[in-house]
Structure 1
Amino acid sequence: MYTREQASKLRQAFWTAFGQYMAPVTSAEGMPTNWINYKTGLKDVFFKMNADKKKASIAIEMAQRDPEIQQMFFEQFTALRELLHGSVGEEWEWDLHTYDENGKMISRIYTEINGVSVFNQNDWPALISFFKPRIIALDAFWNDARYSFDELR
């Protein structure tokens, strides 16, 4: 087992390595992008990548405080489901009104892989191979889809 500090350093080392690996990759618009802290431009809508000791996930998360507003955003994404799945090349899971690790109600559209650990450097290539094409595909999807959310801003 790792101490909290060792675990934090390993996580930080992975995300730093991933960020450096992704640095030369530009967005769908040809602009430099902070892939790890991707900005959707919508309040409370995030593209999140997570890796822990057992699995990794990438998600679109909606974290609006008002459940009805959160549902409106979720329904707008649902209208774009075929475009999203076409962009990422696979079907993702859709959860309306679930809870995150802190007990906050969110809605998520996500995919994950099991059997990988951010704490095992031998798994880092598999994690990068999981995250890279999906975050690039999410960016391409968002380049086309973000205008559908203008009325919800």
Structure 2
Amino acid sequence: MYTKEESKEVKIQFWDGFKRYSKEKGRKMTSWVLRGTQIKEVQLKFDLNENGAFVIIQIDSKLDSKRHSVYEQFEKYKPVIMSTCGADLKWEKDYFIEGFKDVGMIYYHLEGASIYNKGEWKSYFEFMFSKMTILEEAFLDVKDVVLQAV
């Protein structure tokens, strides 16, 4: 079991390693769209937690009606997004982030991934990098039409 300080250090090491991996692959972390989506309610995210590794388009708003409206705009273009992303992309209109709130999520999930399994970090980096490249491309394909509708 890790102490709080050890856990924090492992997380820092992981994300620093992912930044280096991305740079080696030709993408600085600042070059991903991530928070610069131009749609207030939408962020592209990486996450690695006790439920696995995730690459996400997250739709979040204080108002459920606004969150659902934005999510539904993405759903309208699901065939376009799926043609880029493939069948393993998951869609959840109401995904509960434990201890936090509901968000809309369009995401890839690598089950069983653990930040504490350092021997597998490279495979997690590969998963997150490859899936974000695809997800970002799909997002950019539909961004303008979604932005106009919201």
TM-score between both structures, scaled by the size of structure 1: 0.85
Per-residue deviation at 1:53?
Answer: 4.3
Is the 8 Å Cα contact of residues 54 and 114 (structure 1) preserved in structure 2?
A: yes
Is the 8 Å Cα contact of residues 70 and 107 (structure 1) preserved in structure 2?
A: yes
* AA matched with 1:21: Y
Higher helix share: 2
Q: Are positions 1:124 and 2:121 aligned together?
A: yes
Q: State the distance in 1 between where 2:137 and 2:25 align.
A: 12
TM-score between both structures, scaled by the size of structure 2: 0.86
Superposed counterparts of 1:1-150, under 5 Å: 1-23=1-23, 33-35=30-32, 37-53=34-50, 55-150=52-147
Q: Where do 5+ consecutive residues of structure 1 fail to align? A: none
85-94 vs 36-45, which moves further: 36-45
Q: State the distance in 2 between where 1:5 and 1:49 align.
A: 22
Q: 1:139 to 1:54 in 2, by over 3 A?
A: closer
Q: Deviations over 1:47-84 (max 9, x none)?
A: 12111245111211111111111111111111111222
Is the 8 Å Cα contact of residues 19 and 35 (structure 1) preserved in structure 2?
A: no
Is the 8 Å Cα contact of residues 95 and 109 (structure 1) preserved in structure 2?
A: yes
* AA matched with 2:140: N
Q: Where do 5+ consecutive residues of structure 2 fail to align? A: none
Per-residue deviation at 1:145?
Answer: 1.2
Count of matched residue pairs: 150
Is the 8 Å Cα contact of residues 82 and 89 (structure 2) preserved in structure 1?
A: yes
* AA matched with 1:109: I
SS in structure 2 of the partner of residue 82 of structure 1 = helix
SS in structure 2 of the partner of residue 126 of structure 1 = helix
Let me know the Cα RMSD of the aligned residues: 2.3
Q: State the distance in 2 between where 1:86 and 1:147 align.
A: 18
